Structure 1
C-alpha cells in the first residue's frame, strides 16, 4: 500500500520559499511554486542552494530543480492541495486581493503563515478559517548570494544558515499541525510545536524591528550603532516595542528587557559576528533593505497600538520615517 505524496503549494520562490521547498522535497512532498508570471522562467530553470555551516567555507551547491510552477488561480484550482505556504513579507501578503482569490482556489488545504507582523494572523483569518491556519516563524538566515561583490562564501544562488539549537516553531490545531510537523522533520527541518507562535515571537520580533530601524539610521554599520548616543536611542525604542508587544499578546517581556543593555547587546553582537558563517552586517543591510516596507509597517503598528494603550512610543517614533505605511485592513 502506498501513501500519496502531500501536495504543497509554496507562494513565493524567493530565498525563504526555496529553503522550505528544499526541506519539504526531502520529506517526499510534491512541491509547487506559485509566483507572478515575471518570475516563472527563473523558477522553472531551478535554483542552487548552499547550506552554510560554522567553520565550513564554500559548501557545494544543492540543486533545486524540477519543481512545479504555477502563475494563476485558474491553474491552482486544477489540483487538490494539502498545504499552502505563504513565503513573502507582511506587506506583500496584504497587497491587492490575491489572498482572497487564492483561498477560494485551494479548497480545504492547511495554510502555513510565516509573516512576523503582530496582526498578520488576524488579517489573514478574514480569508482562511483559523482552524485551518498554522502560524510559523523563520528561524534561519537566507539570502541571494553573493552578498557583496567578490564574496566567495557561496553562490551564485541562495545561501542559508540554520543556527545551532534552532527550533522552527509552529502552532495550530493538532489535526492540521501534525502532518506539517511530520513532513518537516522527515526532511531534516528542526520543527517544534508551540502553543501560540504569534505570542511566542511577538516580543523578539518587536525588538528586532526596533534594532533594525536603529541600524538603518546608522548606515547599517555596527560600529556606528554601538556608539553611546545611537545605541541608547535604539535600545530605548526596543524597550518600548517590547512593552507594546507584551500588552498586545500577553507575552512576558521581562527576560528580553533585562537583555536590552548596552554591554549585553555589544557582547551578543560580538559573539554572533564571530560565530556566524556569514557577514552579518552585509546580511542585515541586504535583507532588511529588501523588506524595509515590512519593518516600517510593523513599527507603525506598534506605535498605533502603543498610543491606544497609552504606552510610551516617543523613541520608536523618532526612528520611524514619517512616510511609513499603515497596514491595510
Structure 2
C-alpha cells in the first residue's frame, strides 16, 4: 500500500462521513462512491458535529476535499488501496453491484461494517477472504438536528463516540494492520480483535431484537417498558443470543443471565442519561431509515435457528 492510501467509501451517509473524517485526518486520498442523486450534495461537502456531554452548542466542522464518483467506469479508472462498505446489509444485496465493484477495485483491501450474521459469507462470493477486513460501528451518527432545539447552528451530520469505546476490526494480519494503523493515525479509536463477527454477534442480537420490539411499541420507551412488551422482547432476545452464539461458536451463558426485564428497566434510563442526544428520537429516526435491515436480520435469526434446531417461537411471534 502507498504511503498516502487511496480510499473509496461506498455510501456517504452518516456512517461514511464519520469514517471519512478520520481517514482524511490520517492523510488518505478520499473519494465517495454514491448514487447520482446524492452526488451534488457530496461535491458541496458536509458539515460535521462531534458531540460531547457538556457542550451547550456544538461547533460545526467542514468536511470536504474528497472525490465523488457515480459510475463503475470512474471507479475502475483509478487505483484503490482500501474500499469501505458504508451501506446497510440490505443495500449490500441490492442491484448486483458488489461483484462489479470487486472487479473494478483490483487488489484493494475491502472493509465491511455490516452487522448481519451472514453478511461476511455473502461478500465472500465475490471477494477472496485474504482481502476482507471486518469492522464494527461503535458510535451514534445521524442527520442533525433531530428535533427543534437541538444544539446545532445549521444542519449537518452529528456523531458521538462514547467514552472508552473501541472500533474493533479483524482480518488478514497485514491488511488489518494497514486499516487499524490508518485509523489510529487519524485519531480514531481502532483496535484489533481475533474475530469481529464473534465479538459483535451477541450484542448485535440483543440490539436487533430490542429495536424490533421498540418499533412495535411505537418507538415509545414508556410503552416498551410495559410488562407484556418487555417480557416478549426478553424472551425473543434470549432466542437470538443463543442463535448468534451457535453461529459464531461463542459463549452466551453470561449474557443470558443478564437478559431479564429488570436489566432493560435499568439500562434504558441509564443510556438515555448518558447520551448527548434524545435517545428515543434517535432510535426512531435512525432505525426507521434502516428498517429493512432490521427485518433482514430478524429473518436471519429465525432461519438460522430453525436450521440449528434452536427455539424461535418468540422471534417469529406476531408483534
Normalized against structure 1, the TM-score is what?
0.94
- Verify: 1:28 aligned to 2:27, yes or no: yes
How many residue pairs get matched?
318
- Verify: 1:75 aligned to 2:113, yes or no: no
- Verify: 1:93 aligned to 2:108, yes or no: no
Task: Give the match for residue 273 of structure 1.
Answer: 272
Give 1:154 deviation, angstroms.
6.3
The SS at the match of 1:123 is helix
Q: Distance in 2 between matches of 1:210 and 1:216?
A: 10
Give 1:152 deviation, angstroms.
3.2
Task: Give the match for residue 144 of structure 2.
Answer: 145
Task: Give the match for residue 41 of structure 2.
Answer: 42
Give 1:150 deviation, angstroms.
3.8
Give the alignment's Cα RMSD to 1 decimal: 1.1
- Verify: 1:245 aligned to 2:235, yes or no: no
The SS at the match of 2:310 is coil
Within-5 A mapping of 1:217-228: 217-228=216-227
Runs of at least 5 residues in structure 1 that lack an aligned partner in the other structure: 321-329
Task: Give the match for residue 66 of structure 1.
Answer: 65
Q: 1:20 to 1:319 in 2, by over 3 A?
A: farther
The SS at the match of 1:152 is coil
Task: Give the match for residue 107 of structure 2.
Answer: 108
CA contact (8 A) 1:50 1:154 kept: no
CA contact (8 A) 1:23 1:188 kept: yes
Task: Give the match for residue 325 of structure 1.
Answer: none
Within-5 A mapping of 1:199-218: 199-218=198-217
Give 1:153 deviation, angstroms.
4.7
Task: Give the match for residue 324 of structure 1.
Answer: none
The SS at the match of 2:317 is helix
CA contact (8 A) 1:56 1:277 kept: no
Give 1:148 deviation, angstroms.
1.7
Q: Distance in 1 between matches of 2:302 and 2:134?
A: 23
CA contact (8 A) 2:58 2:151 kept: no
Give 1:86 deviation, angstroms.
0.1
Larger mean CA deviation between 146-155 and 194-203 belongs to 146-155
CA contact (8 A) 1:10 1:33 kept: yes
CA contact (8 A) 1:50 1:155 kept: no
CA contact (8 A) 1:259 1:265 kept: no
Q: Distance in 2 between matches of 1:51 and 1:292?
A: 25
CA contact (8 A) 2:11 2:85 kept: yes
CA contact (8 A) 1:214 1:319 kept: no
